[in-house]
Amino acid sequence: MNKSGISTVTHFVLLGFPGPWNIQIILFSMILLVYMLTLTGNMAIICAVRWDRQLHTPMYMLLANFSFLEIWYVTCTVPNMLANFLSKTKTISFSGCFIQFYFFFSLGTTECFCLSVMAYDRYLAICHPLHYPSIMTGQLCGVLVCLCWLIGFLGHSISIFFISQLPFCGPNIIDHFLCDVDPLMALSCAPAPIIENVFYSVRSLIIIITILYILGSYALVLRAVLQVPSSAGQRKAFSTCGSHLVVVFLFYGSIMVMYVSPTSGNSVTMYKIITLIYSVVTPALNPLIYSLRNKDMKFALRHLFCRMEIIQTS
């Protein structure tokens, strides 16, 4: 990807979580388990929504799209991380590093916008229930999902391309388990403050705008719910929003600590742990959060597992 004549780096070394071999095996086993749980849980949600006609509504279609997104979000980083736990060299090619960098931030940006669309769906369902079926149609739902993916993959494309064209003369050691912007910019031979500031500004703007929109939507939802006379109606309204809010706080809480608040005082280990939380742990918790707090989803998953057992025993 880099055509500069003074660039000599052909690969990077991802240090990950340094330690003796037995620690590497333990970390490998833990991350592999979390990764398998993430794939299994999110695939179960996708299959449940696909096969249960009662879940063919915008709310659950958005949830299935979100689960599909989460699968790719963890897959762009975790397999390479697992390979590095068992590798002595822990290398990644120059092109592979920037491909991972691009997909990691593009999928993360897509997740921000998907969470915003899910908040908009809940706002319409609770604040405008009579108009909800005519507004949130399947066609609009599909358009919003496509826009989330399109904006997500275009948002950082130009700035990441220009970062990839910077000269990298060495060293090539990244003290992280993935190719992130800060360690990559630190390794560049030539400072590029304009490109760096553009990337940071776009990233912070996306995070702040989407979280403010989500919080604003739920402020209106809360006001509408408090006006519901029956406590049963309030509980039902809160139950439909509770899972989404928990996921929002888990995801945005960690990325705002990483990318919006000042991080100069944080150690490298803390930097890695926070990244691990929002890039690996949170996607594994999302299926559990949505299934435990949603009766329809629990019923659909139970029906799905029973169906799988029947197929296996037949």
> Angle formed by the axes of helices 231-259 and 193-226, to 10°?
170
Judged against a pLDDT cut of 50, whether residue 5 lies above it is answered with no
More confident residue, 231 or 39: 39
Look at residue 234 in the predicted model and tell me its pLDDT.
65
SS3 174: strand
Q: What average pLDDT score do residues 263-286 get?
A: 83
Do the domain assignments include residue 224?
yes
Do the domain assignments include residue 265?
yes
CA distance 250 to 107: 17
Do the domain assignments include residue 146?
yes
**What token pair was written down for 172?**
């090539």
Structural domain of residue 24, as residue ranges?
11-313
More confident residue, 241 or 276: 276
In this prediction, residue 270 has a pLDDT band, given cuts at 50, 70 and 90, of confident
Number of domains in the chain: 1
CA distance 157 to 152: 9
Residue 22 sits in a domain whose CATH number is: 1.20.1070.10
Look at residue 227 in the predicted model and tell me its pLDDT.
79
CA distance 313 to 161: 52
Q: In the chain, what is the straight-line distance between the N-terminal and C-terminal CA atoms, in Å?
A: 52
Q: What is the pLDDT of residues 122-159, one digit of tens each?
A: 999 889 989 999 999 989 999 999 999 999 999 999 99
For the residues of 210-277, what is the DSSP string, one character each?
A: HHHHHHHHHHHHHHHHHT-SSHHHHHHHHHHHHHHHHHHHHHHHHHHHHHTS--TTS-HHHHHHHHHI
CA distance 39 to 74: 9
CA distance 38 to 254: 18
Look at residue 222 in the predicted model and tell me its pLDDT.
86
Do the domain assignments include residue 5?
no
Q: What is the pLDDT of residues 49-99, one digit of tens each?
A: 888 888 888 999 999 999 999 999 999 999 999 999 999 899 999 999 999
Do the domain assignments include residue 307?
yes
Ramachandran category for residue 13: left, alpha or beta (phi over 0 → left; psi -120 to 50 → alpha): beta
Sign of CA dihedral 25, 27, 30, 35: negative
Do the domain assignments include residue 268?
yes
Q: What average pLDDT score do residues 4-20 get?
A: 80
Do the domain assignments include residue 6?
no
> What Cα–Cα distance (Å) separates residue 29 from each residue in 77, 117, 288?
16, 35, 20
Whether the full predicted model's pTM is greater than 0.85, yes or no, is: yes
Do the domain assignments include residue 3?
no
